[in-house]
Chains A and B, each alone.
Chain A
Amino acid sequence: MNKGFVRGIFTVLIGLWSVTLLSDTEGVFDQYREMLGDDNPAIFVIFDGEEIWYAPAGPKSVSLEQCDLGLGPGVVEGAYAQLPRYFPDVDRVQDVEARLEYCMTQLQGLTPAEVHEKPYSLRGDLGTELEALVAWIADQSSGLVIAPGQAHAKERATYALGENLFYYRAGPHDFSCATCHEQTGRRIRLQALPNLTTHPGAAEAYSSWPAYRISQGIVRTMGWRMRDCMRQQRMPELIMGSQASVALQTYLAVNGAGASMAAPGLKR
């Protein structure tokens, strides 16, 4: 038997093995989603977010209207689709949450501690201001092409950091993001696990957050989603707007680049 033949047999066997293990949830919830139609309660949160953007707040009693999300002060339409990106005024890459934190501290006079006190809802809450803002800002990019910045050296370095973190195993379970998200066609119970290392999986994931989360009745952000993954992996808390959070979102956004935003989405 020559090497080619052995390799051939091996390839066929691996192929068969992969096929029998393919157990994704494709189609199982189609009927459920179809019956839900397009009535997504996220629309109420979007209205709230818009109100909050234009409302004076903080010690300086100023609105967020002059906040620059990357396309100029106050330009919200299309901004989410181009995040994360490098911002010269802070000389680093920021995602939407990091940028909102910057605007809230600079324009409105809030302290970082105040911004970080409660960015995400707890059980029983009806939503936070941050969640509403992100819902509205993302809605202003709905249908637009995901195009995070990668021209600047720091943007590329952030992607590399994100990729590193994605594969970094830690915590008591020795999990990394890759443990669940680097294979195609996997699931936990009936929850599909998208392959985030490839374009289709990353695009589907990145384009559909922030999302109205049915089980919680509120809108959750991409930053929250990653933080909650970390919690379930028994990792230390992923801090909103931190370098690690920005890097992971950059990794996902770049892998999904080219697809269209479809947020706020609807999730379990």
Chain B
Amino acid sequence: MGNLDPLGLTRRGFMRVGGTLLAVAALPQKIWAAALRPETVFQTTTLEATFEALGGVPQVSDGIIFSTPDIAENGAVVPVRIEIDPSVLPDVSKLYVIVEKNPNPLAAVFQVPPNTQPYAETRVKVAQTGNLYAVAEANGELYMVQRETKVTLGGCGG
């Protein structure tokens, strides 16, 4: 008795993956053409470099509603939520989640076509207490909001 067999999991996953890959390959090519991962932005190591890679320092906008916990019980899982007020900030097509003090500040990118609300909710790793940024891109312009999240060290248990 020992570990959950990682090979077993992969094996099961792979069988399903086989099915999925087939299904995915059958999807129209235009769907996958949109899949261009901004690799260079994920490689930056400072906030300044990340903004530069995105195209410049975003302007602060109150059209971005950024929810993060003031204090995270553990930095490995920090819930974040980005909503946009379209009356203040219309035409948002991309959202970025940036964690300033992470080794690589860019954590996630969300791209939406016009029919999708610019909205994203996820959980990110926050290496240490510091600022998180929600950046929105609309018509080539960048906007942002920042919030500080404190990351605590545990005691013993929990």
Contacts and interface: CB of A to CB of B under 8 A. Distances in A.
Is there a contact between chains A and B in the complex with CB atoms less than 8 Å apart? Answer: yes
Interface of A: 28-29, 31-33, 35-37, 48, 57, 104, 110, 114-115, 117-119, 121, 125-130, 132, 180, 187-193, 214-215, 217, 225, 228-229, 232, 267-268
Nearest to B149: A32
Contacts of A192: 158
Contact of A128 (B3, B71, B153, B157): B3
Nearest to A33: B73
Contact of A29 (B1, B3, B73, B153): B73
A118 B3 CA distance: 8
Given A126-B9, A268-B154, A32 B79 contact: yes
A220 to B, nearest CB: 10
Nearest to A125: B3
Interface in B1-18: 1-4, 6, 9
A64 to B, nearest CB: 11
Nearest to B77: A214
B24 interface: no
B83 to A, nearest CB: 13
A57 B1 CA distance: 9
A180 B73 CA distance: 20
B81 interface: yes
B33 interface: no
B109 interface: no
A191 B157 contact: yes
Contact of B2 (A117, A187, A188): A117
A191 B67 CA distance: 24
B69 A129 contact: no
B73 A188 contact: no
B1 A128 contact: yes
Contacts of B154: 188-191, 215, 268
Given A32-B72, A35-B69, A35-B81, A115 B157 contact: no
Nearest to A129: B1
A190 B75 CA distance: 13
B16 to A, nearest CB: 13
Given A35-B69, A118-B3, A126-B6, 4 more contacts: A31-B71, A188-B156, A190-B155, A268-B154
A215 B126 CA distance: 12
24 contacts: A29-B73, A31-B71, A32-B72, A32-B78, A32-B79, A33-B73, A35-B69, A35-B79, A36-B79, A110-B1, A118-B3, A126-B3, A126-B9, A128-B2, A128-B4, A189-B155, A192-B158, A193-B155, A214-B74, A215-B76, A225-B157, A267-B158, A268-B74, A268-B154
